[in-house]
Structure 1
Amino acid sequence: MEVDHIFDVIGMNIARCLNDSNNHQIILTSRETQLYIDVNTGEKLNQWSNPYTGNIVSVIHVANDPVQSTMSTDKFSIKGYLTSENQIVLPIDVNLFYPNPLFENETLRHYSKEKFYQAGEYFKFFTTLNQITNESLTQVNQMDLSWTRISPILPWMNMSTQYNGTLVFSAQGTKISSLTQIDQVLFNEIIKRIPIYENAPNCQLDTSSETSWTYFKKYFSEYLSNIQEFPIPKSKEDIPCVHD
């Protein structure tokens, strides 16, 4: 299969770090959203004409709430390399391999045929050494990043059983101080449909992390309706905290 530019993406992650001193760990709790964008118009795609199958499918945008992880403070270290006297690059490679949540269901398997989900996400964060070594700071104020993701065909594309393909995402971003600084298309989407993404969770939520595959499974019937616009509107948290 040839390499094709099938859509653009715009997205954001809003996160909070919680110090769990009793368990000697830092809890990272976040929400992330990403819109698939028409390469010609720059507008959000709600329906996508699949150039490989000829079918028109509903587009399920990324709405992962939450995405959570923990880091041990006993073993915590920052591994990076200096590019100049004060500029530092922090690379993070995330290689994913786990059972495909759609595989056990015969109907859902049609949209994602692999028994195991395998993907990779590769980040590089660019900041200054004096920020990350300043113990008086509670957050880094200036940070740029690059992001590359290699993954299977998305379930909503409805072509897993017909084609063996791979998606490659390549993007860059920066830390912002206000939601008004993000792309206008994404800003409008958050304000109108998913205002919960204006803030990170206040606690560690008592659930596993959401992914595009689990979200597809959760809203499969809405996807089949061909009239539901994604992401599904959400204005307030309905998941309890771990210690509630």
Structure 2
Amino acid sequence: MANDQVTRRDGLKLAAATVGMMAIPKAAGAAGIAAGAVTSASVPSFVTKVDFKDPKWNRDTYARMDGDVDPTREKLGWLKGTAWGVRDNEKVRPLFGVEGFSLVRVKQLEDGSWRRMLREIVFYRDLDTGELLKTWHNPYTDEDVRVVPIANDPFNYTISDFLPEAPSYGGLQKTAPAPRKPFLLDWTEGPDGTLICQTGIDMIYPSALQPDKWPRESAGPMNRVSEHFVYTVKRADVENPRLTHIPHVGSWSRVTPWLPWMLMGQAPGNVNYLCTFQTLPNVAALPADLAAAARAMDPKWLSAPTTDYGPSLSSLEHYAHEQTPAPVPAGWSPPQPPAAPAPRKS
């Protein structure tokens, strides 16, 4: 076996290493063993030798960041940030706080790929009080609207030696077959022993919220969405064969149409999210009101899927399936950005 491939037996021979920059709390029920450390003979082997040009190393490292390759465990990711409104001829303005979490389970497939099975839920907070929002005053329309959290169950895909295809969102996004490209991520090595991974996707595809049926919720016939992620890890953790999950901190940005529940119609502009994220040891570490709100919606949001199912949809498609079109007031029209200021006379 090659030196960069670590077996379960090899990993179990090594002493537990201290996690550096982002120390992880001990996992519940595993006293004395760092969360994400090999504890079970059922853990598959994975590549640990850093090689940015090796698709298998990229595959295994990403699976260990995004989840925990011990199939008996689930990984809890927590995010927090702000959503901003963007329109012409005015400053970008903060709209509401963003906070949520996801739980993911990873299982290895026969060919060595990893199947990532995830559910995620994201709520919105009042920027002044921090309270979770049930209604929100839309400054663009001067009306109170009902807030709908992001609640995606599931969002699954396979992490393999090749870059994944774009998500289909239930068949809405159709892409022509293309030559398969090796799974090579954008890595930078920092001078302080850190590795930084940047990944993301840019899409435009038909909206499930078409304007003729959803005049107030639809931003138009097409969704233009971008999501980008930055993971920062310690190289020593990546190389540690005892760590089935690699602790990290990172950032998530999202550019998306006006959220359907904002009732902006086809008004010009969009929403930008900017959030940080990291791993938490268990749901007890979540803010109490966040966990309670998720539990009130359904206790399932507090655990990762144990089986693979679908389809995998975004919050925009779920909205179309779960909500009903808002009434259109007489004389209503989408709000428009302010006019451009007149040129200054010299």
Structure 1 unmatched runs, 5+: 226-244
Please state if 1:84 is matched with 2:191: yes
Partner residue of 2:237? 131
Aligned residue identity for 2:258: I
Following the alignment from structure 2 to structure 1, what is the Cα–Cα distance between the partners of residues 221 and 297? 33
Q: How many residues align?
A: 219
SS of the residue corresponding to residue 145 of structure 1 reads strand
Shift of 1:43: 0.7
Aligned equivalents of 2:144, 2:117: Cα separation in 1: 35
Give the drift of 1:190: 2.3
Greater strand percent: which structure? 1
Alignment correspondent of 1:229: none
Q: Corresponding residue for 2:301?
A: 197
Q: 2:316 maps to which residue?
A: 213
What CA deviation, in whole Å up to 9, does each residue of 1:102-130 have, x standing for no partner? 12x72225411422211111111111112
Shift of 1:199: 1.3
AA paired with 1:208?
Answer: P
2:105 pairs with one of 16, 28, 35: 16
Shift in Å, 1:76:
4.0
Whole-Å separation in 2 of the counterparts to 1:125 and 1:201: 23
Contact 1:18–1:203 (Cα < 8 Å) also in 2: no
- How far residue 85 of structure 1 moved from its aligned partner, in angstroms, is 4.6
Q: Does 1:40 align with 2:131?
A: no
Q: Of the two, which has the highest radius of gyration?
A: 2
**Deviations for 1:142-170, whole angstroms, at most 9, x for unmatched residues?**
21111111111011111123x21111111
Q: Helix, strand or coil: the match of 1:118?
A: strand
Partner of residue 173 from structure 1, selected from 277, 282, 294? 277
From 29, 32, 36, the counterpart of 2:117:
29
TM-score after normalising by structure 2: 0.59
Q: Which whole-Å CA distance do the structure 2 matches of 1:48 and 1:126 have between them?
A: 34
For residue 251 of structure 2, the aligned residue among 139, 146, 166 is: 146
What corresponds to 1:159 in structure 2? Answer: 264
| Unaligned residue ranges in structure 2 (runs of 5+) | 1-86, 163-181, 328-346
Q: Is structure 2 residue 196 aligned with structure 1 residue 97? A: no
2:28 is aligned to none
Question: Is the CA contact 1:26–1:73 (under 8 Å) kept in the aligned structure 2?
Answer: no
Distance in 1, matches of 2:104 and 2:218, equals: 29
How far the C-alpha of 1:20 sits from its partner, in A, is 1.3
The structural deviation recorded for 1:210 is: 2.5
Structure 1 distance, partners of 2:242, 2:183, is: 18
The structural deviation recorded for 1:101 is 1.2
Deviation at 1:178, TM superposition (A): 1.4
Q: Distance in 2 between matches of 1:164 and 1:193?
A: 33
Alignment of 1:119 onto 2:249: no
TM-score w.r.t. structure 1 length? 0.82
RMSD between aligned residues? 2.1
- 1:51-78 deviation per Cα after TM superposition (whole angstroms, max 9, x unaligned): 1112221111111111112222364445
Distance in 2 (alpha carbons) for counterparts of 1:160 and 1:81: 41
Q: What is the alpha-carbon distance in structure 1 between the residues aligned to residue 205 and residue 233 of structure 2?
A: 32
2 CA distance for matches of 1:224 and 1:186?
27
Question: Following the alignment from structure 2 to structure 1, what is the Cα–Cα distance between the partners of residues 185 and 264?
Answer: 40
C-alpha separation between the residues in 1 aligned to 2:265 and 2:282?
A: 39
Change (3 A) 1:85 1:113: closer
Separation in structure 2 between the aligned mates of residue 130 and residue 77 of structure 1, nearest angstrom: 20
Distance 1:12 1:147 in 2: 12
Give the direction of change, closer, same or farther, for the CA distance of 1:136–1:79 in structure 2 (3 Å limit): farther
Q: How many Å apart are 1:183 and its aligned residue? A: 2.3
Residues 176 and 153 (structure 1), Cα distance of their counterparts in 2 relative to 1, 3 Å cut? same
